[in-house]
A and B are shown apart, each in its own frame.
Chain A
Amino acid sequence: MRIMIPRFFKALFKTAITYLLYVVFSSFLIPFEGFYDYQALFTALIVLFLFFVFVIELAHGTVFQHIFSIANSLMMVLYFSYVLNTGIINVNIEQTNLMVDLRFFLAILVLGSMLGFAKNMLKLLNWMNEREEQWLRYQIKPL
C-alpha cells in the first residue's frame, strides 16, 4: 500500500500531463472541426492511450509494465492499420467535398508503432533475463 499510493499519484500526474499535451495539440486542430466523422476514432485513440499511460506507470517495476507497454504498441499498430484503410478522409459540406489522403502519413505512424513494439519486446526479454540472473545469483550465493 505504501508503494501503491505514490505510484498511483505518479500515474495520475503522468496521465494529466499527457492529457494536457493532447489539449494543446488539439487546439491546432480547431480549423479542422468539420471532420466530425473522424472525431470518434480520434477520441477512442486518446482514451486508450491515456489508459495505457496510467496502467503502465501503475505497474512500474513489474512484468505488467512491459506487458502493458507491448499491448499499447500493439494497439497502436492495429489502430493505425485500421485507420490506414480509411486513410482517405472525405468531408461533404453542402455542394462541396474535401478530400485529404493521409495514407502515407499513417503508414509512417504504423512503422513508428512497430518500432515501439520491438523496443518493448526487447525490454520485456531484458527484464526477464535480469530477473533470472538475480534468481541465479541468489541460488548460487549459499554455495
Chain B
Amino acid sequence: MNVPIRALSWATRFFWIMVLAFAVTCAYSVTLVRVNFGEPILTSTEEDFTVTLPIIFDNKGYYNIADFNVTTLIVDYENRQISKAAAYIAQIPPQNNAIIFHNVSFNVNEIMTRVDYLFDDSNFTLYGSIYLNYANLIPFGFEANATIPWGAPLFNFTTDMPEYSAYNTTHLGVNVPISFQNHSPYFTVTGTIRIEIFNDRNQLMGEDTASIDVPSNADYDNEIGMLVNAGMLTERGQIRVYVETEMFDYGPMVINYG
C-alpha cells in the first residue's frame, strides 16, 4: 500500500506545482502584454468614410493569445446602427507582436438621409469589445462604451420672410435671409444653397443659387437674392430650399410665405 500512496503523493505534489507555476506565470505574463493604438487613418470615397485604427498588440508574455477579436458598434440615440466593424486574428504567439487594422466605415449617404442628423445635435454611442483566449485556456473579454457627440451641420437652419424691393417696372428683387450653424466638428459644409420661389398657383417665379463654405463650428448668415416677375407675384406662396454639399444633399425644404 505504501508504494501506490507514495506514487499518488508525488503525482499530487507534481500536479499542484504545475498548477501553481501555470497560475503564477500566467498572471505575470498578462502584465507583459502591451496594447498600443496608432494614429487613425481617414479615407473617404463618394459613399463611404472610413477610419482605420491600427492596434499594435505586443505579446511579450509566455503564452499564446488565440481568437483575438475586436468589434465596434456605433448606434444613435434611438439605438439605430450606424456602423459595425470587426477585426480578427487567429493566433498571436508568445514573444511576437501583431498589428491589426480595424476599419470603421460610415455610409455617408445613409447617415445623411436621416433629417434629424442634419438639423439636431445628438450623441452617438460607441460600443467597443475585445475578446481573446489566453494560453488557449482562459477566455478574456473587455467591453467599453463611449459617447461621441454629433454636431448637426445645418443646426438652427432658418429661412426668414422674403424681403421685396423694386427693381424695374416688371420685376421685383426678392431677398431670402438664410442662416444656420455648422455644429459638426468633423467636416466643413461646402456646396450650394438653391432657392426656388413659387406663387400660390405653383408657378416658378424665380430661383437662385449661392455657394457656401462653412467651416466647423461657424455660422452662416446670408441673403440670397433673385428677380421675380411682378405680375406673377401673389400674396401667398412657397419657398423651396435645396442644400447640395460634398457630403450630403437635402431638399426641398418647403417654407410657406404670406
Task: Please give the distance in Å from B43's CB to the nearest CB on chain A.
Answer: 29
Please determine whether A32 and B1 come into contact, CB atoms closer than 8 angstroms: no
Known contacts A118-B8, A126-B5: A32-B141 contact under CB 8 Å: no
CA distance A119 to B1 in the complex (A): 11
CA distance A99 to B24 in the complex (A): 19
Task: Please give the distance in Å from B136's CB to the nearest CB on chain A.
Answer: 10
Binary per-residue interface labels of chain B (142-183) against chain A in the complex, 1 for a CB within 8 Å, 0 otherwise:
111110000000000000000000000000000000000000
Q: Which of B26-34, B55-63, B80-88, B108-116 is the contact stretch? A: B26-34
Residues of A contacting B145 in the complex (Cβ-Cβ under 8 angstroms): 95
Number of A-B pairs, beta carbon distance below 8 Å: 67
CA distance A116 to B16 in the complex (A): 10
Q: Chain B interface mostly helix, strand, loop or mixed?
A: helix
Task: Please give the distance in Å from B160's CB to the nearest CB on chain A.
Answer: 43
Binary per-residue interface labels of chain A (109-137) against chain B in the complex, 1 for a CB within 8 Å, 0 otherwise:
10010011011001101100100000000
Binary per-residue interface labels of chain B (30-48) against chain A in the complex, 1 for a CB within 8 Å, 0 otherwise:
1100000000000000000
CA distance A101 to B135 in the complex (A): 12
Please determine whether B27 and A29 come into contact, CB atoms closer than 8 angstroms: yes
Our pick among A29, A101, A122 for the contact of B8 (Cβ within 8 Å) is A122
CA distance A43 to B31 in the complex (A): 23
Interface CB pairs A-B, < 8 A, 27: A25-B24, A28-B28, A31-B30, A32-B27, A95-B144, A97-B141, A98-B141, A98-B142, A99-B139, A99-B140, A99-B141, A99-B142, A100-B138, A100-B139, A101-B138, A101-B139, A101-B140, A104-B137, A104-B138, A112-B12, A112-B19, A115-B11, A118-B8, A119-B5, A119-B9, A122-B4, A122-B8
